[in-house]
Structure 1
Amino acid sequence: MKSGYHPLAQIVRRFRNRTVGVLGDFMLDELLVGEATRISPEAPVPILLLPPEDRPFDKLTVRLRPLSMSGAEGRVVSEVEPRQRFPGGAGNVAANIRALDGRPIPFGAIGRDESGENVRKLLGARGVSCRTLIADPRRATPRKVRIVSHPHQLLRLDFERPERISAATESKLARQISRAMNELGALVISDYRKGTVTTELVERISVQ
């Protein structure tokens, strides 16, 4: 363990005060966390208990099965946030770089929609400037909702319409990256095949 720890720690420390560009698909990740109370009489699926719709962010008291291999019986009572939101995809990369005291610059296209606005707010709350994120009214910001009853993920819902970015958006991204290139210590490409990272865009920035 020791032999692998020091190089990793050195890499982590190098992020401090470094400016890192993040090009890719910025998405909204959402967790719906509840307690599976019983099996539905309509189909062999669990019924998940969640707060009322008019109070979606109220904490929920759930009984969690202990994560133990001993076979011990009983449950642990715990309070959980039933609805949790995070920057996903390239947004998660940018947030992690900021958490390492780096300075991420996000390059990508989100929709002019509620999910896109949430991505901006979540990144801003983590100290990531979003002035270089392009809001394209023709795009839909990908949103992934994971439905969880601890310790199991029951289902994932993907709200998205993967489409290649327009030529105008591609050119704007290329110009933004070109202007920032001299201050970047690195450029991370986070491609989830949602249409932001095109072959032409990569070719345009790779020759700079």
Structure 2
Amino acid sequence: MNGDLLGLLAAVRGLRVAVVGDAILDRYLTGVPVGMCREAPVPTLDLVGEHDQCGGAANVAANLRSLGAEPRLLAVVGADTAGQQLRAAVASAGVGTDHLVTDESRATVVKRRVLAQQQMLLRLDEGSKKPIGTAAAAELAARLTEELLSCDLVIACDYGYGTFVESVTRSLARSARRPPLAVDSRTPAAFRPLHPAVVKPNYAEAVALLGEPQLASPGERVRQVADREELLLERSGADIVAVTLDRDGAVVLQAGRPSVRTYATGREAETTVGAGDTFTAAIALALAAGADPASAAEFASAAAGTVVRQPGTAICDPAELRRRLAGTGTILPGGELPAWLTDVAGRGYRVVFTNGCFDILHGGHVSLLSRAKAFGELLVVGVNADESVRRLKGPSRPVIPLAERMRVLAALGCVDVVVPFDADSPTELIERLRPEVYVKGDDYTVANLPEAPLVERLGGRVELLSTVDGRSTTKIIRDIHALSADGRRTVPDRKGV
């Protein structure tokens, strides 16, 4: 699949997903501060409301439903009031409760959060952490075995509350047909024998897997994760490792491919509760729909970005996600750069610039752009206008017109500004923009890159990033022509009819 993220939103609809793991009831107590308590130096709140939301595996299932998938939630709850409330929250999210197994010996896991005007003051946790009972485990394992025969994807959500006993794990390992497995676990190594398609640890879980200390700065964290790619893949047993970094985005690792960095939005939010669940649901769906890891990561980052702007344990808003995917960055269709970009002395942030035709956006493009953003705070992408592409690539190009190429680029979370240029080289843009860093692929060298002397004369530097082998627009077009020539396409393409 190419980098059409809006198309990806359509492609994930209807996928059948088995979600197995620890379902949690998130209860929110909201109040208005009225002063300090006389008994102790703590604030006093007048309670004005309380509400329940899905947490843990239940929240992953709720996000899958909001994205248009068909989730089946397989989890164990207690025969208590909290269990009834969790069932109600799951049903309210549009997820079926038929596969929720009751365990008389357990107390349902509840996380109570006390908030004052959306500021969280306290969290109180309760519920069983011991392994689920033998009878409940057997029933859950039997239901999981049945679901694995027909679902498109399975997501394991392990938060340490005892769901993944031997019989449940054995159902995943010995299934006659196991679809791609995505894992979100506090201990990813426990799922290594299952060889997951993707695991999604957060930063703390990733460094625990590495046996290393946590670092402080975002840049150090990103480098630590990216530099340990081989070790993280080996210890998790996964094809892809997506490490989430809360407000600092995510790093996606795959053997033999450059790492992909995504960038979080909605940084003004005070909490990221549930954003990891949204990321898990979205990246797993995207990969199951055939997306390359870079596009899947951008899709998941955009989905998580809709959540951190909302209070509580929110789920992805598909309308907001569609708006984000339709145009995340700023498009300057006339090619004019605003004063806030060209005022080098006053802009107060580092500008990174790169350029290209970007005719059919693919994983190699997304990988390079996401890594380019790491060199500064603002990524500006120059795009060759249609006539320029024809001069450079031939009369049959571009395949995609300029307006659409810019819109797709702007949908990437790492891209901040998209601007076209008519000439064959972006030298005029570089002169006006004066970027601190100019990024190109390493199919160039500084010696044969025409713009390099200009960038350096203006005080910037050139960075050449490794490209993804075997990925190019020209090759994609040749492959399509080859398919057509071989006569393999026997029915007309009715997409969009």
Q: Which residue of 2 aligns with 1:29?
A: 26
Distance 1:41 1:7, change over 3 A: farther
Q: Which residue of 1 aligns with 2:126?
A: 159
Q: Which amino acid is the alignment partner of residue 191 of structure 1?
A: D
Alpha-carbon separation, structure 1, partners of 2:134 and 2:173: 18
- Percent identity of equivalent pairs: 31
1:51-71 Cα distance to aligned partner (Å, 9 max, x none): 4xxxxxxxxxxxxxxxxxxxx
2:47 maps to 1:50: yes
Q: Which residue of 2 aligns with 1:143?
A: 110
Distance 1:96 1:44, change over 3 A: same
Q: Which amino acid is the alignment partner of residue 190 of structure 1?
A: C
Alpha-carbon separation, structure 1, partners of 2:84 and 2:5: 34
Alpha-carbon separation, structure 2, partners of 1:96 and 1:148: 23
Q: Which amino acid is the alignment partner of residue 36 of structure 1?
A: P
Q: Which residue of 2 aligns with 1:110?
A: 77
- Tell me the number of residue pairs that the alignment of Structure 1 and Structure 2 aligns: 173
Distance 1:118 1:184, change over 3 A: same
Q: Which amino acid is the alignment partner of residue 19 of structure 1?
A: R
CA apart distance, 1:11 = 4.6
Distance 1:159 1:7, change over 3 A: farther
Larger Rg: 2
Alpha-carbon separation, structure 2, partners of 1:177 and 1:118: 23
Alpha-carbon separation, structure 2, partners of 1:12 and 1:189: 22
Partner SS state of residue 34, structure 1? strand
Distance 1:176 1:35, change over 3 A: same
TM-score where L is the length of structure 2: 0.33
Q: Which amino acid is the alignment partner of residue 32 of structure 1?
A: L
2:65 maps to 1:98: yes
Q: Which residue of 2 aligns with 1:38?
A: 35
Q: Which residue of 1 aligns with 2:370?
A: none
- Any gaps of 5 or more consecutive residues in structure 2? 176-497
CA apart distance, 1:10 = 4.9
Alpha-carbon separation, structure 2, partners of 1:8 and 1:114: 42
Partner SS state of residue 60, structure 2? helix
Contact 1:165 1:195 in 2 (8 A): yes
CA apart distance, 1:200 = 4.6
Structure with higher strand content: 1
- Any gaps of 5 or more consecutive residues in structure 1? 1-5, 52-81
1:2-42 Cα distance to aligned partner (Å, 9 max, x none): xxxx5655554333111100101111101111111211121
Alpha-carbon separation, structure 2, partners of 1:27 and 1:159: 10
> How does 1:62-141 map onto structure 2 within 5 Å?
82-141=49-108
Partner SS state of residue 144, structure 2? helix
Taking only aligned residues, the RMSD between alpha carbons, in angstroms, comes to 1.7
Structure with higher helix content: 2
